[in-house]
Structure 1
Amino acid sequence: MKTVYSYVKPYWLPALFAFILMLTELFIELVQPLIIAKIIDDGIVVNDIEAIKNWGIVLVFLAIVALIAGIINSYFAAHVAHSFGFDLRNALFSKIQAFTMATYLKFPTSGLITRLTNDVTQVQNVLFMSLRILVRAPLSASLSLVMAFIINPKIALFLLIGAPIVVGFLYFMVKKGITYFAQVQWRLDRVNRVLQECLQAIRLVKAYMRNEYESSRFQQVANSLKLDTTRALRIMEFIMPALLLIMNLSLLAVIWFGSIEVSTGNAQVGELVAIINYAMRVTGNFSMFAFIIIAIARAKASSDRMKEVLLVDGNGLEVEKSESELKNDNLIEEIGTVRFEKVSFTYPNTELLVLSDISFEIKQGEKLAIMGETGSGKTTLLNLLPRFYEPTSGKIFVNGRNVLDWQLEELRAMIGFVPQKSLLFTGSIQENLKWGKQDAIFSEVRLAAEQAQIHETVETFPNKYDTRVGQKGVNLSGGQKQRLSIARALVRKSRILVLDDSTSALDVKTEAALWDALEEENTTMFVVTQKVRTAKTMDKILLLHDGKVEAYGTHDELLQISERYRQIVESQQEQVGEEG
């Protein structure tokens, strides 16, 4: 928990102030039984009205001070807890953003979401309670025992009868609670994962009428969460009755022995009342320990999960190189040139070779079509270019410099990236298009939309470029989302444009118009496509098979040298003939 709670340091001053106010409340709480004893012994027993009035005024004054201290304490405790939660959540999000793709894939998306939401809330709540009652309860219980011994050691001795049993019991329950609530948090991850999958594929679920199946699947994981939570809480529920039994037995012993001491004149009535008062406070504070232990156990489980993210070392992060670390042994060639030299790649924690000995070169402004069957390594090859992953062996050069020697920000600023799956964000169309270049002016946005063949469609919307896009573009067609994704990349005016099968939903006429518009751009292009008619318009074609280069050259050259490419061409000609 030390790693997580280190984010409290910036707020040590208000936290200290809140802690002092909590101690003020505690001091008054401990003094009150003494004043009550004074009222009884010096006032009621001897019938001294003046003493009753004076000590009564002191008691009321202290109660008001405690009330004010409690209100101010709550304010500062809330400020510290929520500020800590804000910083911790931002730190987790920033760390996740810095993950390499390999590191990111180690954590389920649902698990990362739970860490940023539920887990942060758990530790935030414990911090707030620490400044209110979490520390106060054990302090109050222990100091009440001390005060009872100061008043009358003989009577107070009976309060210690169950102390060793209580301490051992609490230690055992804390360890159990941490184990059980760690399992609960894992179950919550599973619920979030199933929920996320179902909502993302809601159209598919409805199309295949799998509502009942998905409901059953969700019920199973939700039931597992319920059972584990119930088991954890049931174990914790043993704490309160067990503590109350032990403390009430001690309290009965105090009352019985105290009454004997009063009757024999060895103790005053006020002393016995004060000790009983302290005993009741000890019992009351112990009754809160069940709640406190549950909170600590859940916070410990949550902090351990967040620690996994926060302590990811440099090997799992995208690290920017300093200027002094950059190698300058390669002169910068013509901007937009890309060269792969015997590049091989294996995904982390696997032995399967996804790419093997890939070599090719593309000059500034040239357009490369990448073809191949599913699983041939097309998308993986593109992911190496902006350094989402690093080659297992071989080198990739951009502008004559090894991609490993570029600053990440500088390298990726040169690349416009359109992923295989079109992703749009909640917001307006204009906000989505400017996402790739925040300072873009409207004329740039419009030009990119025109090039991507989406401008005329946007103009038909009631609010045009201010039209709101639903979550993940749910209110747009597949072709519209693809064209908006392409426009978003074009706004950047990047030297290198990567299109990962990003025109699959476009009709022949729209796609042809797109390529015509992009002819004006002096941009090096990588285009993953399955369409021969698209590949024919490119300067070069890279045909992959099982992660290896099957053929490389122009359309005419591949027809001469590659049997596999001729088969692809013939199959698509047959499809066109059948459609005709």
Structure 2
Amino acid sequence: MTTSPLPQPPVPVKERTFALSKELFRYKPGLFAFNLFMWGMVHASPALLTLAVSGVFRALEQADGLKTGGQPINPAIAAAWVSVAWFAFVRLSRFGIFYGAFRAWIELWYTLDALVRRNLLSYLLTARRSRRLPDTPAEAVSRFRDDVDDVAGYTEVWVDGAGFVLYSVVAITLMARVDPLITALVCTPLLLMVVFVQRLSPTIRAYRRRMREATARVTDFIGETFGAVSAVKLAAREDGMVAHLRSLGETRRHAALRDVLLTELIRGVNTNMVNLAVGLVLLLGANKVRGETLTVPDFVLFIGLLPRLTGSMGFFGDAIARHRRTGVSYDRMTRLLQDAPDTTIVEHHDAYLNREAPAAPPAPTAIPLRELRVDGLTALHPSGLGVHDASFSVQRGEFVVVTGRIGSGKSTLLRAVLGLIPTQSGTVAWNGEIQDDPASFLVPPRSAYTAQLPNLFSDTLRENITSGADEAHLNRAVQLAVLEPDLHALSGGLDTPVGARGVKLSGGQIQRAAVARMLARPADLLVFDDVSSALDARTEAQLWQGLAQTDATCLVVSHRRAALLRADRILLMQGGRITDEGTLPDLLERSDEMRALWAEQDA
């Protein structure tokens, strides 16, 4: 069985942010190009307005000269009216251009936003081998929300940047034809801002990372608190929880404040550099107008182009900072996917925003189980604890129980067999065929699994059991899971909302609802991880007796007598190893550990 590498932190690459973003832009090249064109016109059109105003002054100046010379001024006045008409046309057209550009931008933003979220969720749910979140689910939500928004929003830098570059090229060309010296003074702050932001790049990344991590901790704590409201109330720890939330919020406030202050510092420096350049331009320009080396139309052209040109320079400085912050978002999403290639985040798939998604693919084909064989399976946690060199087999129709003390590795063994955690060595074979990716193969209708601490969705009991599948086996699943008596006690029966994570149900009801969910879709191999821990002896006995009627093949973790008495074979674990195997009478006869576990049931 191919092993999964332990998660490693992402390695920063100098051009990684640009390379990933370029691949993202290629998802909808036509839409991206249309945005570049439309926003280029939006940002470049002020240059045309300035040219029109300058043309009016130039025509009026020409008319004044013609009048002084005693010549007819009608051609000059007509030229002035043409410039006014051109100004009105560009001004009115800009409203329509802006509307079209804004519609195109909204479509591009949400398309890329949906694509990145789709890729993250798809990899977490369908990737080969085990998929374990590196952090809590609540913290993963912040990656899906904030970091994805940052990456999609980074597109704005390129969409607007193209327009600002076009405007800057036009403006600098026109201004340089008037006075190269003044133009150079305007462009100098751009170079200074680039150097300034480059020097601050490590600080920008560090502050953004701390702010995102602080936000994730707040989200994580809120999620855990809402999932354990009853425990908080029973322990009377409301004040302590509120105090801790206030502390986390204060930490987040400080981190966010530093991040925002740095952003505003960069913008402030940009603005002040630009204002300084504008002041110098006005002083030099006024002197040249007074000295008649600069005409009034040229000065009007200069003054008209200057504000937006200096604003463009501020945009370029801010764009560099956003580039660094987007790199942090890519790093955080890469950590969420752990061993996935960088390009997984920006892979091209249909997001189905403008049409219905196709029907879900059919379930995997059934391969009737004859034998499940595990050989030399080793799965270790980062702490070094886990399962060592486990080997056993399960024949069709057998009821095999894995037992042992707490911490002996029972749950780890099941999760390793199912491919839910990384393994270091060993194989899992289905009917003699080794499975390189058990996590993808051991799914219904081949195998089904109920965890030791199952999770329910905040929906009705019916939806939790069927999980979107048809209800053909619903009644049978409810009966086998010994859930029928509880339905009579619930006000809405199967349509009763279970609350957040099943908070309205007891521990035993949650366990049996999870078992019913597993049984609602037929599977050859049923894997139970200590599901009877929250059940009374009578209910547990009914559960195992009902499963015996189905001739199901079961692999069960349990230390309860009802399961041990039902077992065809027992795997005894100690210290992460299978130390003995056999029937209950055989183990009680030869194993001190088994006799001790059996005696504990009497206590």
Query: Which residue of 17, 23, 34 corresponds with 2:40?
Result: 23
Counterpart of 1:531 in structure 2 is 560
Deviation track 1:193-238 (CA, whole Å, cap 9, x = no partner) reads 3333333333222222233333333333332222222222222222
Matches of 1:241 and 1:388, distance apart in 2: 51
Query: Which residue of 317, 330, 347 corresponds with 2:380?
Result: 347
**TM-score in terms of structure 1 length:** 0.86
Asked whether the equivalents of residues 336 and 496 of structure 1 are also in contact (C-alpha less than 8 Å), the reply is no
Three-state SS of the structure 2 residue aligned to 1:427 is coil
Counterpart of 2:245 in structure 1 is 218
Deviation track 1:141-190 (CA, whole Å, cap 9, x = no partner) reads 45422221123435434434545433322433455423321232222233
Matches of 1:83 and 1:233, distance apart in 2: 28
Gap change, CA 1:204 and 1:411, over 3 Å in 2:
closer
Matches of 2:339 and 2:426, distance apart in 1: 27
Matches of 1:238 and 1:534, distance apart in 2: 67
Asked whether the equivalents of residues 33 and 278 of structure 1 are also in contact (C-alpha less than 8 Å), the reply is yes
Alignment of 1:190-205 (within 5 A): 190-205=217-232
Identical residues among aligned pairs (%)? 22
Q: Which amino acid aligns with 2:53?
A: I
Query: Which residue of 264, 268, 271 corresponds with 1:241?
Result: 268
Cα displacement (A) at 1:39 = 1.2
Cα displacement (A) at 1:23 = 1.8
Matches of 1:449 and 1:469, distance apart in 2: 16
Three-state SS of the structure 2 residue aligned to 1:468 is coil
Alignment of 1:117-266 (within 5 A): 117-128=145-156, 130-131=158-159, 133-153=160-180, 155-160=182-187, 162-174=189-201, 176-266=203-293
Counterpart of 1:338 in structure 2 is 372
Three-state SS of the structure 1 residue aligned to 2:28 is helix
Matched, 1:43 2:57: no
Cα displacement (A) at 1:560 = 1.2
Cα displacement (A) at 1:291 = 5.1
Shifted more, 259-268 versus 397-406: the winner is 397-406
Three-state SS of the structure 2 residue aligned to 1:381 is helix
Shifted more, 76-85 versus 529-538: the winner is 529-538
Counterpart of 1:560 in structure 2 is 589
Gap change, CA 1:471 and 1:375, over 3 Å in 2:
same
Three-state SS of the structure 1 residue aligned to 2:406 is coil
Gap change, CA 1:150 and 1:420, over 3 Å in 2:
same
Q: Which has the higher contact order (CA 8 A, sep 6+)?
A: 2
Asked whether the equivalents of residues 373 and 392 of structure 2 are also in contact (C-alpha less than 8 Å), the reply is yes
Three-state SS of the structure 1 residue aligned to 2:283 is helix
Gap change, CA 1:401 and 1:440, over 3 Å in 2:
same
Asked whether the equivalents of residues 270 and 317 of structure 2 are also in contact (C-alpha less than 8 Å), the reply is no
Matches of 1:53 and 1:517, distance apart in 2: 93
Matched, 1:366 2:394: no
Alignment of 1:69-468 (within 5 A): 69-99=97-127, 104-128=132-156, 130-131=158-159, 133-153=160-180, 155-160=182-187, 162-174=189-201, 176-288=203-315, 292-309=319-336, 312-313=339-340, 335-341=369-375, 343-347=376-380, 349-352=382-385, 354-389=386-421, 392-404=424-436, 408-409=440-441, 413-435=445-467, 439-442=469-472, 444-468=473-497
Deviation track 1:384-408 (CA, whole Å, cap 9, x = no partner) reads 3322246544444333333438793
Gap change, CA 1:557 and 1:420, over 3 Å in 2:
same
Three-state SS of the structure 2 residue aligned to 1:356 is strand
Matches of 2:578 and 2:194, distance apart in 1: 69
Asked whether the equivalents of residues 398 and 554 of structure 2 are also in contact (C-alpha less than 8 Å), the reply is yes
Three-state SS of the structure 2 residue aligned to 1:10 is coil
Asked whether the equivalents of residues 100 and 389 of structure 1 are also in contact (C-alpha less than 8 Å), the reply is no
Matches of 2:579 and 2:185, distance apart in 1: 88
Counterpart of 1:484 in structure 2 is 513
Deviation track 1:217-268 (CA, whole Å, cap 9, x = no partner) reads 3333332222222222222222333333333332233222222322333221
Cα displacement (A) at 1:290 = 6.1
Gap change, CA 1:386 and 1:250, over 3 Å in 2:
closer
Deviation track 1:362-398 (CA, whole Å, cap 9, x = no partner) reads 3221212222111111111211332224654444433
Deviation track 1:46-101 (CA, whole Å, cap 9, x = no partner) reads 46654443321210110111221111011111111110110111111112224567
Cα displacement (A) at 1:550 = 3.8
Counterpart of 2:31 in structure 1 is 14
Asked whether the equivalents of residues 4 and 88 of structure 1 are also in contact (C-alpha less than 8 Å), the reply is no
Q: Which amino acid aligns with 1:118?
A: D
Matches of 1:102 and 1:490, distance apart in 2: 23
Matches of 2:154 and 2:392, distance apart in 1: 57
Asked whether the equivalents of residues 427 and 468 of structure 1 are also in contact (C-alpha less than 8 Å), the reply is yes
* Unmatched segments (≥5 aa) in structure 1: 318-331, 576-580
* Unmatched segments (≥5 aa) in structure 2: 1-16, 65-75, 345-365
Matches of 1:164 and 1:395, distance apart in 2: 60
Gap change, CA 1:11 and 1:451, over 3 Å in 2:
same
Asked whether the equivalents of residues 123 and 302 of structure 1 are also in contact (C-alpha less than 8 Å), the reply is yes
Cα displacement (A) at 1:349 = 4.3
Three-state SS of the structure 1 residue aligned to 2:549 is coil
Asked whether the equivalents of residues 227 and 500 of structure 2 are also in contact (C-alpha less than 8 Å), the reply is no
Cα displacement (A) at 1:504 = 1.8
Matches of 1:382 and 1:415, distance apart in 2: 12
CA RMSD of the aligned region, Å? 3.0
Gap change, CA 1:404 and 1:118, over 3 Å in 2:
same
Matches of 2:326 and 2:450, distance apart in 1: 41
Asked whether the equivalents of residues 454 and 480 of structure 1 are also in contact (C-alpha less than 8 Å), the reply is yes
Three-state SS of the structure 2 residue aligned to 1:346 is strand
Q: Which amino acid aligns with 1:346?
A: A
Three-state SS of the structure 2 residue aligned to 1:196 is helix
Matches of 2:597 and 2:442, distance apart in 1: 38
Matches of 1:334 and 1:153, distance apart in 2: 82
Matches of 1:358 and 1:163, distance apart in 2: 65
Matches of 1:402 and 1:184, distance apart in 2: 46
Asked whether the equivalents of residues 142 and 282 of structure 1 are also in contact (C-alpha less than 8 Å), the reply is no
Three-state SS of the structure 2 residue aligned to 1:35 is helix
Matches of 2:334 and 2:423, distance apart in 1: 29
Q: Which amino acid aligns with 1:375?
A: G
Three-state SS of the structure 1 residue aligned to 2:293 is coil
Gap change, CA 1:228 and 1:141, over 3 Å in 2:
farther
**TM-score in terms of structure 2 length:** 0.83
Three-state SS of the structure 2 residue aligned to 1:338 is strand
Cα displacement (A) at 1:361 = 3.5
Matches of 1:571 and 1:160, distance apart in 2: 83
Shifted more, 222-231 versus 241-250: the winner is 241-250
Asked whether the equivalents of residues 188 and 225 of structure 1 are also in contact (C-alpha less than 8 Å), the reply is yes
Matched, 1:548 2:577: yes
Asked whether the equivalents of residues 430 and 465 of structure 1 are also in contact (C-alpha less than 8 Å), the reply is yes
Matches of 1:460 and 1:108, distance apart in 2: 34
Gap change, CA 1:292 and 1:23, over 3 Å in 2:
same
Q: How many residues align?
A: 553
